[in-house]
Structure 1
Amino acid sequence: MIGGDQLATPGLALPTGVPQPPAVTALYWLVADLDSGAVVAACGAHEGSPPASVLKLLLIETFLDKLDPKQVVTVTHEDLAIKPGTSLVGLVEGGRYTVEQLWLGLLLQSGNDAANVLARLGGGVGGGTGGRAAGIQAMNDEAARLGAYQTHAITPSGLDGVGQFTSVYDLALIARQDFRKETFRRYTLTKTAQMPAQGPKYKGFQIQNENQLIFKYPGALGGKTGFTDLARHTYVGLAERNGRRLVVTLLAGEPAPLRGWQQGAALLNWAFTLPADASVGHLVEPGEVGASPSPTGTAAAIGAPVAAAATGDSRLGPPLFIASAFVLAVALLAGLLHRRRRARR
């Protein structure tokens, strides 16, 4: 099991003798040390689940250092081909924006339109002409390089796609790499930003950071929120206390009685009280594991449609979509029942 044998469980992995963690609705969560890479504690560390917008952290890790922040980009009609009712920063077709403005729109407002543009640009790095599809492939290649073998992107934004999944362990790997970038650290703590006017028809407007952790949690270092109907509420948060820096990741949560960032804050508060050497595993470094192992468990079942999607084999699409949705539902129900049984003990 990547990161240590103690993580090979769909349930809790806790250091010996520590108090029980706070109750959260997220089925899966993990807390790790950003500096040492020690996994402090986890629940279902390697269980696969849809990511929602926290997948944007993989897009950032893949392309933040490869795209010129001053480059001006023109938004195309295809960039805005997004399901209505989803999170947008408000880009307009034909509008011109700097790459930095797109990154801020991605992080602060979780803009799926910005994600499409950035993935398209990333797909052209090095002279490539593959566009958004090549950008998504680069994201998957980067996940494999990091050792995030239970992560597979189908969309650059985290909007639900057949065969798209991640784990709280993989999210911690990805967030840790993001945090090593000074530009990311600055962007993720940005509270407001200005989007430019586009000719006389579209006025400029201000955007605000949706991650309430940075406003309400002392020592917050940033993070990312996420939500889709399938993924439910997902969250990644980063914070520092007394020189110790931690990352918390959550998947498959509900917003009551605590919202995602509040659940993350509760787990951070608990983890900060544990001894500095408390650990149940570690976050691997790029190249530490070697070739990607065959996926197992829930992630493999959810990922079954990936080959069909990649080859365009329409004969396999609908049945496998139903199968993957069924497997996911069973996995989420099993996790919920596990948590309820644990709560009764």
Structure 2
Amino acid sequence: MYWRAVVAALACAVVATPMAGRPERSVRDVPCPGAVARPASARPHPSPPVPPPAGAGERLRTAGLAVPAGATRPPAVTADSWLVADLDTGAVLGGCGPHEYGRPASVQKLLLVAAVMPRLDPNRVVEVTEADMDFEPGSSAVGLVRGGRYRIDTLWLGLLLNSGNDAANVLARLGGGTAAAGVAGMNAEARRLGAYRTHAATPSGLDGPGQVTTAYDLALIARADFTRPDFRRYVASRQAWIPPQPRLHQAGYGIQNDNQLLYRYRGALGGKTGYTDLARHSFVGAAQRDGRRLLVTLLGADASPQRGWEQGAALLDWGFAQPRSATVGRLVPPPQPLGGSPAATGRATGGPAPVAAEAASTAAGDRSTPRLVGAIGVIAAMLVAALAGAWWWNGRRIGRRRGDLDA
């Protein structure tokens, strides 16, 4: 009888202990308008998954639709996940699976901006190396040449207007000392911003092992970028000039911003487009109307019947139509206020980020580890108590038998 009680108690403890890394959802998953059913293998699922950030709002812990009570129905879009937020207050107006994992494609470059732009002098002239040109053939590039010398502000324009993967490699190297260290710095910056469900494997957003993000995390990253006047200037630029390289017999040429939101949406502030075969279309965009600035992020969209930027524009229209008080959550700001001093955030104006800071930041971001340790501790304590109780019970039974024999 005693052992039956022990087994029952242990079963209750295991059931009551939350599984490490499993996000608890307290809201019903309401299907998102227009969402396309995807096979389970089509979306990344890190193991163990990191819990959504505390304080973002329980209503955002859903794989489905989250909108305020009384809100108009959002437009039907093909994106797997999306989010609309107030760029200034951080209030989230609505979303579809905002914490669900997706692949970023070139919107990953916004994380590179957050990690590296504060550290580099835009007037500095740098030379492109052979290693900088190591990126997928046929993918987007601004046309840098080996041995070419360019100002860093030219590289930012090439990155953000033309989605240059060559420019991404150069900037990651400059920000970290090597391209790999630059990617490590991107992951450290994601943790600092609270984008715990984001992991970069490449500086450009080209698909890499374990590379993931979420619509919510993208909003955190983009919001940090938009606090910078230089970033706002770059993404609002419609055209730029890549200077000639006389030593290498290359003429100068112009580039145009590939974000159509700038040309076709009233009040557009800029953003970033992205596409790979695995990620499909991704988009980040911002716009201002009547003194209100809104941000939209989306992942995993099909190009038909609307392109990614058009789906973003439709969601921005929906957001501007909602009252200013409408909210289902918030973008949790990082401990260090956005726009804080580089020294306070551990980002010096030159040199690679300390590896120790990266490790500490990563450990702080992986909330699944303490939960797993806690669960193991509870079960171990129950086992110790059960064994001690069994020893005492058996000793008592043996004592009783010996007393009966002595009588």
Q: TM-score range by the shorter chain?
A: 0.7 to 0.9
Aligned counterparts of 1:286 and 1:271: Cα–Cα separation in 2: 24
Could you say which residue in structure 1 is the equivalent of 2:251? 203
Structure 2: unaligned runs, 5 residues or longer: 1-51, 337-360, 370-407
Partner Cα distance (1:28, 1:58) in 2: 19
3-state SS in 2 of match to 1:224: strand
The alignment's TM-score, normalised by the length of structure 1, stands at 0.82
- Partners of 2:141 and 2:368 in 1: CA distance: 33
Instruction: Give the stretch that moved more between structures: 194-203 or 165-174.
Output: 194-203
Superposed counterparts of 1:268-287, under 5 Å: 268-287=316-335
1:292 paired residue number: 365
Question: SS of the residue aligned with 2:271?
Answer: strand
Q: Please give the alpha-carbon distance, in whole angstroms, between the structure 2 residues aligned to 1:236 and 1:30.
A: 10
2:290 to 239, 242, 245: 242
Secondary structure in 2 aligned to 1:10? coil
Equivalent in the alignment of 2:114? 61
The partner residue of 2:65 within 6, 9, 12 is 12
1:217 lines up with 2:265 in the alignment? yes
Question: 2:10 — aligned with what?
Answer: none
SS at match of 1:136: helix
Q: What is the CA-CA distance between 1:287 and the residue it aligns to?
A: 2.2
The one-letter amino acid of 1:54's match is V
Match of 2:281 in 1: 233
In structure 2, how many angstroms separate the alpha carbons of the residues matched to 1:39 and 1:145? 20
What is the aligned partner in structure 1 of residue 345 from structure 2? Answer: none
2:91 to 14, 38, 47: 38
Structure 1 Cα separation of the partners of residues 298 and 67 of structure 2? 16
Matches within 5 A, 1:111-122: 111-122=164-175
Partners of 1:287 and 1:293 lie apart in 2 by 16
Report the number of matched residues. Answer: 289
- Alpha-carbon offset, residue 294 of structure 1: 3.3
Aligned CA-pair RMSD: 1.3
CA distance in 1, matches of 2:156, 2:368: 31
Any idea what SS the aligned residue of 1:206 has? strand
SS at match of 1:65: helix
Preserved CA contact (<8 Å) 1:149 1:295: no
User: Following superposition, which runs of at least 4 residues in structure 1 exceed 2 angstroms of deviation?
Assistant: 293-296
Secondary structure of the 2:154 match is helix
Q: Tell me which amino acid in the other structure corresponds to 1:75.
A: V
- Per the TM alignment, residue 292 of structure 1 is displaced from its structure 2 partner at its CA by 1.4
What SS does the aligned partner of 2:72 have?
coil
Distance 1:19 1:216 in 2: 24
Whichever residue aligns with residue 105 of structure 2, its letter is: A
Output the CA distance in 1 between the equivalents of 2:127 and 2:236: 26
The TM-score, its normalising length taken from structure 2, stands at 0.70
Residue 388 of structure 2: aligned partner: none
Partner amino acid for 1:276?
Answer: R
Q: Displacement, 1:19?
A: 1.4
Percent identity reads: 60
Q: 1:46 to 1:295 in 2, by over 3 A?
A: farther
Map 1:78-117 onto structure 2 (within 5 A). 78-117=131-170
Q: Which amino acid aligns with 1:162?
A: P
Partner SS, residue 222 of structure 2: helix
- Per the TM alignment, residue 133 of structure 1 is displaced from its structure 2 partner at its CA by 0.8
1:29 Cα offset (Å): 0.3
Which runs of structure 2 are paired with 1:322-333 in the superposition (5 Å)? none
In structure 1, distance between residues paired with 2:129 and 2:325: 50
Supply the AA of the counterpart residue of 1:253.
Answer: A
1:174, 1:183 → 2: CA distance?
16
Amino acid at match of 1:248: V
Gaps of 5+ in 1: 125-130, 297-345
Offset from partner CA, 1:260-279 (integer Å, 9 cap, x none): 11100000001101010111
Q: Secondary structure at the match of 1:104?
A: helix
Whole-angstrom CA distance in 1 between matches of 2:310 and 2:265: 9
Q: 1:295 to 1:245 in 2, by over 3 A?
A: farther
d(CA) in 2 for partners of 1:257 and 1:68?
42
Tell me, in whole angstroms, the C-alpha distance in 2 between the residues paired with 1:292 and 1:121. 25
Is the Cα–Cα contact under 8 Å of residues 235 and 251 in structure 1 kept in the other structure? yes
